[in-house]
Amino acid sequence: MLDEPLTTKACETRHLMLRTSDLNWLLHRAAQRVGEVLESAAVQHGIGMRGQLVLSALRAEPGRTQLALGAALGLDKTTLTTVLDKLEGAGLVRRQPDPADRRVRIPTITEAGEKLQERVDHDVHLVEEQLLATLGADERQNLEHTLRRLIGPQEGRGDQPAGSCM
């Protein structure tokens, strides 16, 4: 049973076996579904959603050190380094030493990275719209508001939710 693919039926069976809360199960399945759809859109451009997340963050707030970027995105050093290596290898990001401390790296998005980030962002937005098309405007607004409240600020972390963004 553990080797069968995670089909909806398999997940429902495990849910019943584990007797987990419906809310936990529903949120997890919804997150998986959204993640799969968005990852698929990003992969078509040669990067995954983690790559898109990093490019978006570099574009929105340039000048952060690699360590600060990882903390802001909730990505550990190893994961962020792997993503940055791939992006740098593709010419989408450049890492330069921090003038104040040459041991520290500051990643910056390249012009090619900015163009790709725009295209991926556009496609991800379209896929998101298609995914949410079954909901009315009020339902979408309520869903987003409710999810924001659920993941709200964690004690001692300001506005940063606990765990990874991806």
Spatial separation of the C-alpha atoms in residues 135 and 142, rounded to whole Å? 10
Residue bearing the bigger pLDDT, 4 or 29: 29
Spatial separation of the C-alpha atoms in residues 74 and 97, rounded to whole Å? 22
In tens, the pLDDT along 115-149 reads 999 999 999 999 999 999 999 999 999 999 999 99
Residue with tokens 């990882």: 70
pTM comes to: 0.75
Judge whether residue 166 has pLDDT over 80: no
Residues 6+ apart with CB under 8 A from 18: none
Domain limits, the chain: 22-149
Q: 48 — alpha (psi -120 to 50), left (phi > 0) or beta?
A: beta
Judge whether residue 8 has pLDDT over 80: no
DSSP 64: -
In tens, the pLDDT along 63-116 reads 999 999 999 999 999 999 999 999 999 999 999 998 888 889 999 999 999 999
Q: Which CATH class is domain 22-149?
A: mainly alpha
Spatial separation of the C-alpha atoms in residues 145 and 157, rounded to whole Å? 20
Spatial separation of the C-alpha atoms in residues 42 and 87, rounded to whole Å? 13
Spatial separation of the C-alpha atoms in residues 71 and 116, rounded to whole Å? 24
Q: What is the pLDDT of residue 20?
A: 61
